[in-house]
Structure 1
Amino acid sequence: MKTLFFLSIFCITCILPASSQCLDDQKSLLLGLRNSLIFNLSASKKLVHWNHNIDCCNWDGVECDVFGHVISLQLDREMISGGIENSEYLFNLSYLEKLNLASNKFNKIQIPKGISNLANLTHLNLSCAGFAGQVPHEVLRLKKLASLDLSAFVCSHLFSPFLFQLYLENPNLKMLVQNLKELKELYLDAVAISAQGNDWCHAISSSLPDLRILSLRSCHLSGPIVSSLLELPSLSVLLLDHNDLASAVPDFSANFSGLTTLSLASCSLLGSFPEKVFEMLSLQNLDLSDNMLLSGTLPNFPQNGSLRTMVLRGTNFSGSLPDSISNLSMLSNLDLSSCSFIGLIPSTIGNLTELTYLDISSNNFNGSIPLFRLSKKLTYIDASHNSLTGNIPSSLFALPSLTILWLSDNEFHGQVQELSNLSSSLLEELDVRYNHLEGPIPKFFSELEQLKMLLLSSNKFKGTVQLEMFKNPHLDTLDLSHNDLFVQSTDSDSSLLMLPNVITLILASCKLQRFPSLHRQPRLFELDLSSNQLKGEIPNWIWEIGNGSLGHLNLSNNLLHGFQKPYKFPSLYVLDLHSNQLLGELPIPPLSSYYVDYSYNYFTNSVPDDIGRFLCRAHFFFASNNNLTGEIPPSICSAYALHVLDLSANALTGGIPPCLPYNISRFGVLSLGRNNLSGTIPDTFSVNCNLQTLDLSKNVLTGKIPRSLGNCASIELLNIGNNRIEDTFPCLLMKTSLRVLILRSNKLYGDLQCLEAIQEWLNLQIIDISTNNFSGGISFLSFSKWRGMISANNNKQSKYNHLRFDFFELNGRYYQDAVTVSLKGLEMELKKILIIFTSIDFSNNKFHGEIPYSIGDLKSLYGLNLSHNELTGSIPTSIGNLTQLGFLDLSVNKLTGKIPVELASLTFISFLNLSYNRLFGEIPEGPQFRTFLPASFEGNLGLYGCPVDTSCNKKASGVSPPGFQTEEVHLKKEIDWDYVSAALGFAVAFGSTVWLTLHCKRWREMFFGKVDQIYLKFFPRR
């Protein structure tokens, strides 16, 4: 027995040293690997510390077995960029069981084929490492793999997650899982798989019976989710976010007794979500966010539910919150924002003691916020965008751990009550914007010692506010804008700082009549004093705030007229002075500026010659609607970073610099309209053109439409109207993404034959080619190809309701497209081009032939103007399908036949002009037709009825319309010689008229013209 004991001690003594001593060949391989890898020494936390004087089993990221073989290599986040492709060192570590190269920066290389030498691997993590291309067959030889992670979905902190995307085609997903049957964890996020639901569901369920974790986010998968996927009894985590499954959700509760996490965000899910899933006792995390067509209601939750996270944001869930939500005692994250919930927030929600995040914004909740009396760990409440009413309960401010409270976009009323013991509150963020809160600003706000952000804008707060009241030591953001407040500050030169830690101060629309005393603010970076009543000069001390650290200044929409001298701009990133009364020369912008807006002022003289040098970093330069003269300086071409350049509505002359469209390939918006520019449009648009908006309208430009404009495939708005361009229809734009095309009032000519072939204009919503010399027939046009006018839903791809250009993220700033259209005979400027606004204007040309019947397919069309052409045939009855039509002008053509009765059903039409055609018959009756004046129908000799016939209201009493008298004749027994004389005179005159009409062309044309005028005088309103 003693022998056995000592033998055991001897074995342990022999083994223990070996477990901590690296074998020489293993150390040699590791050192060779380190020396061959290309990595960032300053960012490395492991490789940089490998030292041959230290046992390699003790190196960071290295693990050995008891025999000194390297079995684990964790080299994630080492910023490795190369040296691994054919590494004889790495792929000779044949004992490796775990290899982690995640979050490195391999530059689009394929996964090395030498990886097949590592046959003992059980865990392989190559996620977010920068590998690209086809996953090689060699991966299929790693038969012992239990965990494989090739995902790129979570590496956006390093670079775009889709920049270096892997894909599975040959081998495909089916081949992969059939060879790696030991897999228990499979992560393929952002690997392009592109498989149908029947294929990928069956492949995984039939090959991986022991799978516990399946993550296939953003894999281009399609639905449906078939029942075979439910045949994975061990599955605990299922992540399928950001795929286009477009299917209903199966009842996962039936088979997945151990499911803990289910995430199906942004999957285009349909139908009703199974309530039983919420009742699964194992389920801890559920994310169904951003599935707009997914509906459902919340069930009565069972006791002791295990849910910790429930995210239903952006779905169509509805109904009320059940009282039983308090049964989810472990719930820490509840996001029900942007749904359709209604009713009261149950008071039992206050019993969720683990709740740390609550977002119930953008719903239809009403009533008051319940008391969170036991929620000691509650740190975040978002109850914005609801219909909450009543007073804000004081109990909210008694929560000891509450750090963020958002109550914006509700209908609270009354005053915020002053509370006691607030100095001990941990409230850090308070956002009650966009409500109906009223009364004075409560004094207790200044007693919230931990408060960092106070956002009170867009309410009904009133009274006078002294900025000095906000003494909160940690306050860094204060927004009092858009209330009924009169904000003031003292003029004292006290050494005490007014807002010592404030970084962002927003006082827009606060009735300021003078600049507040902000001379010595040490940290102020963003200052917004817009939409006030500031007059006079901009004080020069404002540029010295924070010792020149001011980075964002907005003084727009005031009454300022100049700059106090001397002045020097600090390193501003945003300078917004638009809509003032500023005079003099255009100020040189700061070299650091990203955004400069000088528009809607009275700046004069020419644009500075060296302006481009000062815009070297600018993305946005806006100087429209001033009085600038002279030429556009060529130096502006050196502002390579510009996304938006708007010099419109000035008095600029000369030509467009040829370098402008060529040099600045980043341009998204170039607006030079409403000037006096001459010459031709430079044919120098770059092959890398990114233009989205080009507005050169209302100048005196000549020549042709540049052919290189066809390089701008992403152009959405092209406006060259009101110039002197002489060319044919711009067929070169066939491959573009046009939404708005304005060619009005030029000298364009020819037919529209190529327009029939243009199918790429799927989102076209406004086309105006009026007042040109276009000719030819239009009957061949197939309007049904313009899907942007067929259904308003096709134009809702944007999350906004109007056309805009988001040039970069900067406090929500963007360029808003505008355009002038002709409606009801008047030019109207659309400051916002609504996505749903659609119109066609082919007027004042020489088009002939019939109006295509397919015009009736454009069911979201608002305006149609085909007037002043030579169109023939009848008015298509299909126009009656245009239920959104508000404007129709077919006047001055040669249209014949009757007015279709279908037009009377157009209930939204407010302007109609069918005058000067050859229409006849009775005008259809309808509620809208009765509102039109006779001028809408004049010049059509055969029309009768309302509104041209004043006796139409007597029609029911037997009065016949003019020109269509009944055969009933009332004879007189006596001869009235006065009538006989008149008849003889009429016969002579009539005979002479007929003879001249038949034998004299000039007389014939003059006669019929006069007849039209006389007829209209006789029957203008009958």
Structure 2
Amino acid sequence: MKSISYQNPHSLMFHLMLLLILLVSCFCSYVSCSSHSNVSTTAITSSSLITSCLPDQTAALLQFKGEFAFIKPNFGSYYFNCPRSADPYYHADDYESYPKMKFWEKEKDCCSWDGVACNTETGKVVGLDLANSWLEGPLRSNSSLFKLHGLQRINLSFNNFSFSIIPSEFAQLSRLTYLNLSFSMFSGHIPSEISFLTHLASLDLSSFLNYDDATSLLHLRKVDFAKLVQNMTNLRYLHLHQVNISSSVPESLANLSSLTSLVLGGCSLLGNFPQNVFNLHKLEVIRVTCNYLLTGTLPEFQPSNSLTDVSLDYTKFSGKLPNSIGNLNSLSLLVLRECNFVGPLPSSIWNLSHLTHLDLSLNHIIGHVLPYTLGNLVKLTFLTLQSCQFSGEVPSSLRNLTRLEVLTTTTSELPKFQSLFLGSCNISEFPEFLKTQDQLKALDLTRNKIESEIPKWFWVIGRHLEVLFLYGNKLHGSFTIPPLFTSISYISISQNNLTGIIRKWTYLKVLDISKNNFSGTIPRWLGSSLEILNLQGNNFNGSIPHEIFTYGSTHSMMRMLDLSHNQFQGRVPQSLINCTQLQVLNLGHNQISDTFPFWLQSLSELQVLVLRSNKFFGPIWHPIMYLGFASLGTIDLSINHFSGSLPSDYFRNWGCMSKAPDGNNSDMKYLGQYKVMSNYYIPYRYSMSMINKGSEMELRKILTIFMSIDLSNNRFDGDIPSSIGKLQSLIMLNLSSNNFTGTIPSSFGNLRELESLDLSKNKLFGRIPQQLANLTFLEYLNLSHNQLTGQIPQSTQLDTFSKSSFEGNPRLCGSQVSKKCENTDTQIPFLSRDEEESENGFTWKVVVMGYGCGFVVGLVIGHLTFVNKDGKLENMDGKGLAGK
């Protein structure tokens, strides 16, 4: 290499300057690259660095400010569809509530604005924290938010984005490492483009439930869930609480080695949960609560496990609790309520000295009652072992638990409790230790074996009670609450042998005294504040006083009313029309004599109507008075004297039943939930009996998705309305023991959710429609004792039913009955000539002319339908499980 000789000092200085410039340039490049890779927004102290916000950043933020109004949100109690123990652990109160953007001023540097963080080297906005900032209005796809390409952190939680869809343009912010859109009134499908944000370390899209029907506002497709888990390998926090996913959990979730918090409560998950997720080394929180179809087992836990919070309540997790659970040294919360765990309780669990919350209720755990080492759990504030089959004495070490607020076992010398849940504990007498518990606000002694009277001393110490559960015992004697009980709002004493007088309580919201021995007439003041009144299965008589639905105001607050299985007479009081929020009306099994109450159609919230086994008479349709029921899901008019025919469009305006199910398991909810004691949401699970699949059964929890019609044992005549085929969500249909004539409508083939169909003991004629073969969920079928003819459709779902489903139709033939068909090779379900005139005037000739073209078109449509179903397989499976 040729050497360079500097004879001229100016030349030397020149080259030295070039070298210095080069070094400075490299250093600046290094600093710039480092700032882009660093998520920290800490300012870099240097006089040469930019210290103010760039003009285009200021303009974008001000435009973003102008897109919203500033109105303080009122979220109320619409967070959760799970019991208290399954609530998320973050709330709007976690963030200071005020309109941050309202105070942004153009004259000031945007990097000094509240909620804005900048990279002070580049002047670009890198962080935006507007949680609980009163934003109201839709977040649109053209929002100026998406002009801020340098954003790395966004928190827009607890705002009101007016049920708008989450814009897919979030994917343009490729540098995001933190995205929190939780509980901000977004709705619809989460865009698949979210999975493109591969740098995300924290993603929270948790959602409220729909105000009206408690269904999820947000939905995440199965394929997008899988992509999200597969692409976001840097995730540390994944929170999708109450986002409707309706699919299994991908095995690849166990590959997220950085994951520390996983919250998937109320997501309608199904299938088997990947066991390896529990042993992710950094995982601290795992909450998959209220996924009622999710199965799984617990693994052997390693000593290096970091778990602090495990909540699996209201799932189908099963198996034994491993003894290695004692390795979870950091565990503070363990909630396994209402799962399917079995076997002995591992003794190692009492070594978990950090536990504050332990709930093992409603499992099948057995063994000796709590060991003396229970006293090690000195941090416990919540302990409930309801329905666990323990034996032996309660240890005195229980006294060490001085922080305990909620307990499910009885003992002596305990602190003052506000809540005691002692359900299903095999208690045989009223607990004496309650004499010292004069601060109780909630007491649960349900499903025990108490056969005594309620002691008089209880009415002295219980004056602060707000909630009293005594149902499912053998209590007898008089139940008469003294006037001192002014705070009580929820009473359930059903399934006992109690008698007494119903007193007036000012603040009472729920009164369930069903299945006892109360008698007499209903007090006229009773409905003043009640939202639920259940008097089912007593000996009440007389007429139903109309005053209970108008007392104190023009509109009653009543939501559920069950007066069934009594001896009420007279007519249905028309003042019921004031109960504008009424969801359930059950007057079945009484002596009520009246015409059909057409005015009930104006109750837009009515979901369950039962008039079964009374003396109702006359038509249930009138050309002027009949409008239809918008929200009705269950109607039972059986065993009455209703008569007349129904027009073909009778069911046209039954909106709720007409909605096609979408396989969304979040629809699997029950009626009723009440907030008491400021903290607890106490569910009310309404139950009733009905004829389903040929047998009377007790529905202990009424699913709002259970759609049923029972018009059996009346005097209806004429054709079965063809509009019944519009009720796509119908699960049970019983029209038996009437005088219906005509053919079975082919529109029945549209009832794809139908599980039980009873058309027996009518005067139906003609062939069985081939379309019934479409009813793949059908488990019970009774077409017996009609005048049906021709061949029973072969090689279909109908092959699975026995002879009893078709007997009493001597002109039927097929493999299911004794009469065999002739010319079986050419059997096509056409009408015979004496049946050829349909109600629309078409003849069999017209049907034949269209048969060839229809066959080809049917093949094409059938193929498209198959492809569509295959693409939504998870929805089909979910619905099938829900329906069964």
| Length-normalised TM-score, structure 2 | 0.67
Give CA-to-partner distance per residue, 1:852-871, whole Å, 9 cap, x none: 4xxxxxxxxxxxxx5xx756
Q: What's the counterpart of residue 690 of structure 1?
A: 656
Q: Max radius of gyration: which structure? A: 1
Q: Choose from 68, 81, 99 the match for 2:154.
A: 99
The match for 2:223 among 187, 194, 200 is 194
Q: Equivalents in 2 of 1:565, 1:295: separation in Å?
A: 51
d(CA) in 1 for partners of 2:344, 2:192: 56
Distance 1:54 1:701, change over 3 A: same
Q: Which residue in the other structure is 2:759 paired with? A: 743
Q: What corresponds to 1:50 in structure 2? A: 103
Q: In the alignment, what sits opposite 2:378?
A: 376
Contact 1:22 1:69 in 2 (8 A): yes
Q: Does 1:765 align with 2:729?
A: no
How many angstroms does 1:705 deviate by?
0.7
* CA distance in 1: counterparts of 2:803 and 2:418, whole angstroms: 51
Report if the CA contact (8 A) 1:108-1:133 is conserved: no
Deviation at 1:340, TM superposition (A): 6.6
Q: Which amino acid aligns with 1:772?
A: N
Q: 1:136 to 1:212 in 2, by over 3 A?
A: closer
1:728: which partner in 2? 743
Identity %: 25
Which string of whole-angstrom CA distances, capped at 9 and with x for unpartnered residues, describes residues 831-889 of structure 1? Answer: xxxxxxx994212112344424xxxxxxxxxxxxx5xx75689xxxxxxxxxxxxxxxx
Cα distance between partner residues in 2 of 1:339 and 1:531: 25
* Deviation digits for residues 503-548 of structure 1 (CA, Å, limit 9, x no counterpart): 4464776655444242242212123454566668x56xx23x2xx3
Mapped partners of 2:171, 2:353: distance in 1? 51
Alpha carbons 1:689, 1:711 under 8 Å: kept: no
Q: In structure 1, how many angstroms separate the alpha carbons of the residues matched to 2:453 and 2:444? A: 17
Give the equivalent residue in structure 2 for 1:842: 806
Distance 1:223 1:575 in 2: 41
Give the whole-Å Cα distance in 1 for the aligned partners of 2:118 and 2:798.
Answer: 67
Note if contact 1:110-1:134 (Cα within 8 Å) is conserved in structure 2. Answer: yes
> 8 Å contact 1:765–1:839 — kept in the other structure?
no
Q: The residue matched to 1:307 in structure 2 has which SS?
A: coil
Aligned to 2:422: 432
Give the match for residue 537 of structure 2: 579
Deviations 1:276-303 (A, max 9, x none): x87776554456887989776764x665
Specify which of 390, 397, 412 is matched with residue 388 of structure 1: 390
Match of 2:789, SS?
A: strand
Asked whether the equivalents of residues 311 and 335 of structure 2 are also in contact (C-alpha less than 8 Å), the reply is: yes
In structure 2, the partner of 1:457 is: 446
- Write the mapping of 1:500-899 to structure 2, written as runs, cut at 5 A: 500-504=464-468, 506=470, 511-530=475-494, 538=501, 542-543=503-504, 545=505, 548-563=506-521, 567=525, 569-588=527-546, 589-590=548-549, 591-608=556-573, 610-658=574-622, 662-682=627-647, 683-691=649-657, 692-736=707-751, 737-752=753-768, 754=769, 756-778=770-792, 780-784=793-797, 840-852=804-816, 870=819
CA deviation profile, 1:341-381 (whole Å, cap 9, x unmatched): 66543444322210122233413421221221222112222
Task: Mark the CA change 1:850 to 1:154 in structure 2 (over 3 Å): closer, same or farther.
Answer: closer
Distance 2:235 2:525 in 1: 69
- With over 3 angstroms needed to count, the CA separation of the structure-2 counterparts of 1:630 and 1:567, relative to structure 1, is same
Cα 1:297/1:648, change in 2 over 3 Å: closer
C-alpha distance in structure 1 between counterparts of 2:135 and 2:294, whole Å = 44
1:798 aligned residue: none
Structure-1 separation of matches of 2:539 and 2:203: 59
Tell me if the contact between 1:734 and 1:760 (Cα under 8 Å) persists in the aligned partners.
yes
Q: 1:391 to 1:456 in 2, by over 3 A?
A: farther
Q: Residues 758 and 195 of structure 1: is their aligned pair in 2 closer, same or farther, counting only changes over 3 Å?
A: farther
1:406 offset after TM fit, Å?
A: 3.0
User: Which amino acid in structure 1 is aligned with residue 272 of structure 2?
Assistant: L
How far is 1:668 from its partner? 1.0
The equivalent of 1:827 in structure 2 is: none
- Residue 370 and residue 570 in structure 1: after superposition, are their counterparts in 2 closer, same or farther (change >3 A)? same
Q: Which amino acid aligns with 1:60?
A: D
Separation (CA, whole Å) in 1 of partners of 2:194 and 2:295: 41
Describe the SS at the equivalent of 1:349. Answer: helix
Whether 1:351 aligns to 2:351 is: yes
Q: Is the 8 A contact 1:662 1:686 kept in 2?
A: no
Q: Deviations over 1:112-165 (max 9, x none)?
A: 57768867655554556526568487996x8xx732777644444889998665
**Gapped runs of 5+ residues in structure 1?**
1-10, 166-189, 245-264, 408-415, 473-497, 790-837, 853-865, 874-1022
Q: What pairs up with 1:113-512 in 2 under 5 angstroms?
A: 123-126=178-181, 129=184, 130=186, 132=188, 135=191, 146-147=199-200, 152-156=205-209, 165=218, 190-192=219-221, 194=223, 204=231, 225=251, 235-237=258-260, 266=269, 268-269=271-272, 282=282, 284-285=284-285, 299=300, 305-310=305-310, 314=315, 318-319=319-320, 321-322=322-323, 325-336=325-336, 344-361=344-361, 362-371=363-372, 372-406=374-408, 419-420=412-413, 422=414, 425=415, 427-439=417-429, 441-442=431-432, 444-448=433-437, 451-461=440-450, 463=452, 465-469=454-458, 499-504=463-468, 506=470, 511-512=475-476
In structure 2, how many angstroms separate the alpha carbons of the residues matched to 1:160 and 1:385? 31
- Counterpart-to-counterpart distance in 2, 1:678 and 1:157: 40
C-alpha distance in structure 2 between counterparts of 1:102 and 1:468, whole Å: 50
* Residues 517, 85 of structure 1: alpha-carbon distance in 2 compared, 3 angstrom cutoff: closer
1:63 match: 117
User: What do residues 27-69 of structure 1 show as CA deviations (whole Å, max 9, x unaligned)?
Assistant: 5554443233245356672246415387654443223444765
Q: How does 1:933-952 map to 2 (within 5 A)?
A: none
Tell me: CA distance 1:16–1:446, structure 2 relative to 1, closer, same or farther (3 Å): farther
Counterpart in 2 of 1:36?
Answer: 67
Residues 799-832 of structure 1, C-alpha deviation per residue, up to 9 Å, x if partnerless?
xxxxxxxxxxxxxxxxxxxxxxxxxxxxxxxxxx
CA contact (8 A) 1:734 1:761 kept: yes
Aligned length: 690
Q: Could you say what secondary structure the match of 2:378 adopts?
A: coil
Report if the CA contact (8 A) 2:596-2:620 is conserved.
yes
Question: What is the aligned-residue RMSD (CA, Å)?
Answer: 4.5
Counterpart code for 1:457: T
Q: Do the aligned partners of residues 209 and 320 (structure 1) sit closer, same or farther apart at CA in structure 2, a change above 3 Å counting?
A: closer
Q: Go from structure 1 to structure 2 and tell me whether the alpha carbon gap of 1:516 and 1:340 turns closer, same or farther (over 3 Å shift).
A: closer
